[in-house]
Structure 1
Amino acid sequence: MRNGNCLHRRGFLALGGAAILAPQLPSLAEAKISTQTPLYGISVFGDLKYQSDFKHLEYVNPDAPKGGRIVPQASSIVYNQNFNTFDTLNMFVLRGNGPYGMGLTFASLMQSPADELSSAYAYVARSVTVSDDKLTWQFEIDPEAHFHDGTPISPADIVFSLKVLRDKGHENLASSLRQMESVEALGNDKVVVSLLPDSNISTVLTIVGCPIFSEKWWEGRDFEATLSEAPLGSGPYRLRQYSFGSYIEFERVPDHWAAKKPIMIGRYNFDRIRYEYYRDRTASFEAFKAGHIQFREEFTSRSWATDYNFPAIIDGRIKREEVRDETPSGGQAWFFNTRREKFADPRIRKAIGLMFDFEWTNANLMYNSYERSASFYEKTEYKATGTPDAAELAIMEPMRDQIPAEAFEEPYVPPKTDGSGRVRNLARDAVKLLTESGCKLEGGRLLLPSGEQLALEFLDDDNTFEPHHNAFVNNLRSIGINATYRVVDASQYALRRRDFDFDMTISRFSMPLYPHRFIKQLFGSSSANAPGSFNLAGVANPAIDEVLEKIIAAETPEEFKVASRVMDRLLRAEHYFVFQWHKASHWLAYWDFYDKPAIKPKYDIGVIDTWWTRPDRISATGMSG
């Protein structure tokens, strides 16, 4: 599946930007957070990987040549972006469908590298000082930082940006920024951010990763309106040309103000980056075969196993690679819309989940390429196993009357089938659960306690996964559930997800692996009915809210691990999701005129960030580059 989450570990910082270093300044970890000493970097847990005198990031080639272009297929979306179309140039608001790549045009206060999980280094801010209570953060602005028109980035621009994103930005960003008590300019070179008492450093990581806008450029413009003119930026790229719903192209800023800073050396090497939009995956794959798309990450096992046999593959003009994926896999699942009364009972949700035959699906549709997921914390130490230990029980016992008894047992793992496609035993278990919930089977129809037949519509915007749904649908129909699969166009799909107008839909989210308020956007009651939030399931559970607060307030890795495992137990016991699958590698295919560093960034594939063009190979592919 495509990665439908977004604000992940690097957040906006991964989308474009550069960093500068204040020589010989300590990191936040080194200063133990009790300081008025200027810091060059901050980290939630542990020491920063890079010292103040580092020359370049470990995973780049400092001598990488600039030039050429790349046309990648985007594999993840954030805020209001849509995989299949765009109709506004503002990706940071709820309205419209934003384009890929606009983040490349903006700088931010600090930036995170792709080989650390919870750190950020100075960028537009040359340094930051922190109050002893960690609630006041003072950023000193680099005098060299400027917008693409040559005007300097001022404290007023930063204050404007943080306030407008807090007040009018997309909910998945604004919710974190509302933890700011105030943000003010101090003189001509400083910005002071004061946080609410219940905030922590994770709030700061969101703040320092926000795009910086020009206040003057936005004068007289409505930030929430559809935008057809690119906002003035200050990142390593600027918009070159676009056509709504068709393509968008960016060009590298050759004299970017931070181009020679250590954290920028060897990065953002392509002169042009272009994204093409197609109506579905079949069309985009044909575009890749023809060279209109030049880099593709494949997410469909059937395609990877059977479709990569065309001439450009056979004669070596296109390379295929399977690259180890070291990132936590997160959770890909069908999400129940529990705002709808028919899904209010967890027994009904569990029964529906029992009817998904992963083993048959994996063998017959996915070439046994995947492992079954059972958690949002796959491939991490935060996934719950066994019965709760003493530390977990210390959190759970005071809430025992609010927690399902199942949460105190070994965490729920979907049962395995024999892969034959016959799920009679699971069907019996499902019908038993449904009967216990007050449903009854009459004339081959499964009736809810209200007397209505239980109907379930799977919503999607692409028919690639129709076979996977069909097998699930048929199993559900066998126990009297009126299950259907519906594909709608990209704009309607985005709108229906935004307004929670669905029964079940698919998405994938990776959990923050350090205390971060973003997790409330996924599972918090406050986000359950906020249009556009990532809380697709509508989780609004007081016990889960309490555990979320413990995750956010954790001050040590151990506290965070314990609270996260409790969260995992509760989510799995409530059956808000039918988990799908994950794998431990990336499937990459690209036209063979690119090169890359010897070291891959641990938490990214690094294509846009670190690859470069080999002009001497272009003619051999029959391409124009």
Structure 2
Amino acid sequence: MTSTRRLLSLTLAAALSLSTSALALAETVTGAWTHAFTMGDAAKYPADFKHFDYVNPDAPKAGTLRLGTRGAFDTFNPILPKGDPAAGLGLTYDTLMTPSLDENNTYYGHLAKELFIEPDYSAVTFRLDPDAKWHDGEKVTAADVVWTFEKMIELSPNQAQYYASVTNAEALTDGEVKFTFNEKNNRELPLILGQLLVLPQHWWEGTDAKGNKRDIGASTQEPPLGSGAYKLQSFDAGKTITYERVPDYWAATKPTELGQNNFDTLAYEYFLDESVWFEGFKGDQFDYWSEYSARRWATGFDFPAVEEGRVVLETFAQDYNASGAMTGFIPNLRRDKFQDEKVREALNYAFDFEELNRTVFFEQYDRINSYFFGLPFASKDLPQGEELEILESVKDLIPASVFTEVYTNPVAGDSQKLRGNLRTALGLLTEAGYTLQGNQLVDANGKQLEIELLMHQASLEPIAQNMITNLRQIGVAMTLRIVDTPQYINRLRSFDYDMIYTSWAQSFSPGNEQRFFFGTGSADAEGSQNYLGLADKGVDAIIEKLIAADDRATQEAASAALDRVLLHKHLVVPGYALQYSRTARWNRFSHPETLPEFSSGFPTIWWWDEEKATQTK
């Protein structure tokens, strides 16, 4: 899903993650200053628009929204690649541009009032809003933008790779900053820079209340200085954080902000245990719950407050309208045991999704069959047209099966089908050089095939046990290791795992982020989202064709081609997904009657409803 400061319940690490997406391709304004960046048909809102259509411009500014989150936090430094940034930290900062939630892939000026894109997309210049200021009253300057950018790529290998196409960042004046690229006609690059979250250089290079010099390269628990709609009010280290709305926020009446950021305070409370976390919601310790467990959604909301209407259950398809994902069991190809494609394919035959859906998921989920699951350009049928042309251009580098077979997942759901699938899996493993000796599947040296599955969510244990139990029947020793969130993140960053269960979020318009997900250049970059460690010339070639696409049809064709090749390489055991979000809330809030097409807008465009709050108590 597209990363944005609007997703306030995410940590800033997620806001800075490389799930940022490319824009849909079409004509946009180049060679002139413009208030909006779109690669759709046209920006919906003109330069003099008053506010987004989906907001309530008269929404009251009042009340407290309490949010619960899992884990802990240890830093208020927003750009360090290590550590656990505080939840909601993005509330205190602004980005150069901000998205419209009722348009697909359209961004409007925020810190940057306008932008100028060179006709060949070789550079982009941002002109800052002269009203933009930090919470201490100092103006936001082009020097702040350049300093932030340079510190990000200096301190974070992730960011250095993601911004690898940027050869120069230059402050032309106090109010204009220019980014120059090492390639032309990459239409995503202006957006990537437009989503840059800007930090105050003068504050970070200054001293704290004790006279100690601050260090952007070190973790800190000093409340940060920002320019956003909220500032940090108070915290209890690792446990709670409270943000207060800035009364003189410089952008409060700007068209991109009117009717938004309506709560006086937002408070986050951390929980280490999931069951305690949910009981905290039921006990009215916080206000909003986003549900990811099918069992709990089906059976866990029968408490009195729901029956009395004081807790409201609601689903939002809007949250998934412009996003997709591949979620599944991801092997680490840096381990020799997963180099053979037959081993990877065999693992898929041991996953009985249909049984899980019936017994654990209450038939709520669909099996994922695409790296762009839920999006209209996911590969289907046999390739044809421009997709076929793209595949034929790299046919010597990709599996031959992409031209003759449609990818499908194995289907089980009963004991007979599962036995057949396990026989197929054992056959594939035998072809890969393994032998079943007694109850152990061993290699030529007599060593059993062992796989450690690394997880940090105990709620996913039934999914893991499905694989573990079935693989045991053919002699494979899979074990589950559940670690705490900080340890999981550290092991993820250093690729210290056999297998994980996670996902790649995909947008309506894939682009440069595919290099970071699947490109050779990211395979050994610490902290990258190339969880697989994939380094494949055929995949690289298709990614470059996708990035260079000069129209929407070519972009969709290249996306489908990439999807098809990844599927036929049997890199992942696909999992399952929903196409809507499941939420519960204490009934103290309201939202616009018509929500934007591509988001529920929570909590940015919601507001405190005094009448409901009185009734809910």
**TM-score after normalising by structure 2:** 0.92
Task: Give the partner amino acid of 2:84.
Answer: N
Q: Do residues 209 (structure 1) and 195 (structure 2) align?
A: yes
Q: Paired residue for 2:289, among 266, 289, 296?
A: 296
Deviations 1:30-50 (CA, angstroms, capped at 9, x unpaired): 985442x21001113321122
For 1:188 and 1:499, how far apart are their aligned partners in 2? 39
Measured on the aligned residues, the alpha-carbon RMSD in Å equals 2.0
Which range moved further: 275-284 or 321-330? 321-330
Note the alpha carbon deviations across 1:332-379, whole angstroms, 9 max, x for none: 111111110001111101101111000000000010011111112112
Query: Distance in 2 between the 1:198 and 1:512 partners?
Result: 22
Alpha-carbon shift at residue 421 of structure 1 (Å): 8.2
In the aligned structure 1, how far is the partner of 2:59 from the partner of 2:416?
52
Counterpart CA distance in 1 for 2:27 and 2:388 is 34
One-letter code aligned to 1:347: K
Provide the rounded CA distance (Å) in 2 between the counterparts of 1:402 and 1:29: 27
Kindly tell me: are residues 136 and 147 of structure 1, through their superposed partners in 2, closer, same or farther at Cα, counting changes over 3 Å?
A: same
Q: Is 1:233 matched up with 2:226?
A: yes
Q: Name 1:570's counterpart in structure 2.
A: 565
1:266 is aligned, of 242, 255, 259, to 259
CA distance in 2, matches of 1:279, 1:10: 25
Between the aligned residues of both structures, percent identity stands at: 33
- Where do residues 535-546 of structure 1 align in structure 2 (5 Å cutoff)? 535-546=530-541
| Distance in 2 (alpha carbons) for counterparts of 1:265 and 1:211 | 20
The CA distance in 2 between the partners of 1:285 and 1:14, in whole Å, is 21
Cα 1:487–1:34 change in 2 (3 A) is closer
Contact kept in structure 2, 1:334 and 1:504, CA below 8 Å: yes
Matches of 2:404 and 2:274, distance apart in 1? 42
- 1:183 equivalent in structure 2: 169
Against the structure 1 CA distance between its residues 255 and 471, is the aligned structure 2 distance closer, same or farther, given a 3 Å change threshold?
same
Is this contact kept in 1: 2:166–2:182, CA < 8 A?
yes
Shift of 1:136: 2.2
Q: CA deviation at 1:278?
A: 1.0
Measured in 2, the distance between the counterparts of 1:271 and 1:393 equals: 55
- Tell whether 2:80 aligns with 1:93: yes
- The offset of 1:393, in angstroms, is 2.5
Structure-to-structure mapping, 1:519-534, within 5 angstroms: 519-534=514-529
Contact 1:14–1:112 at 8 Å: present in 2 too? Answer: no
From 577, 580, 591, give the equivalent of 1:596.
Answer: 591
Match 1:249 to one of 242, 256, 272: 242
Residue 136 of structure 1 pairs with residue 123 of structure 2: yes
Is 1:489 equivalent to 2:476 in the alignment? Answer: no
Cα shift at 1:437? 1.1
Partner SS state of residue 235, structure 2: strand
Structure 1 counterpart SS, 2:276: helix
Match for residue 15 of structure 2?
A: none
Partner of 1:305: 298
Tell me which moved more, 417-426 or 434-443. 417-426
| 3-state SS, counterpart of residue 42 of structure 1 | strand
Q: Tell me how far apart the structure 2 counterparts of residues 31 and 425 of structure 1 sit (CA, whole Å).
A: 52
Indicate if the aligned counterparts of 2:349 and 2:410 stay in contact, CA closer than 8 A: yes
Equivalences for residues 510-521 of structure 1 within 5 A: 510-521=505-516
TM-fit CA distance, 1:449: 4.1
Query: Mean alpha-carbon deviation: is it higher for 504-513 or for 348-357?
Result: 504-513
Mean Cα deviation higher: 201-210 or 561-570:
201-210
**Residues 72, 327 of structure 1: alpha-carbon distance in 2 compared, 3 angstrom cutoff:** farther
**2:106 aligns with one of 95, 114, 119:** 119
Q: For residue 4 of structure 1, what is the aligned residue in structure 2?
A: none
Deviations 1:4-23 (A, max 9, x none): xxxx3244565599xxxxxx
* Stretch moving more, 125-134 or 428-437: 125-134
Structure 2 CA distance for partners of 1:511 and 1:358, relative to 1, 3 Å: same
Q: How does 1:228-377 map to 2 (within 5 A)?
A: 228-324=221-317, 325-377=320-372
Q: Which amino acid aligns with 1:111?
A: T
**How many residues end up aligned between the 2 structures?**
595
Q: What's the counterpart of residue 426 of structure 2?
A: 431
Report the alpha carbon displacement of residue 584 of structure 1 after superposing the two structures with TM. Answer: 2.1
Match of 1:9 among 2, 19, 23: 2
Which digits, 9 at most, give the CA deviation of each residue in 1:250-300, with x for residues without a partner? 111111111011121111111111221111321110110111121011110
Q: Which amino acid aligns with 2:88?
A: G
* Per-residue Cα deviation, 1:467-497 (whole angstroms, up to 9, x for no partner): 2211221001000000111111121111111
Report if aligned partners of 1:166, 1:177 keep a CA contact under 8 Å in 2. Answer: yes
**2:154 aligned with 1:167, yes or no?**
yes
Mark the runs of 5 or more structure 2 residues left unpaired by the alignment: 13-23, 206-212
TM-score by length of 1: 0.91
Q: Secondary structure at 1:53's aligned position in 2?
A: coil
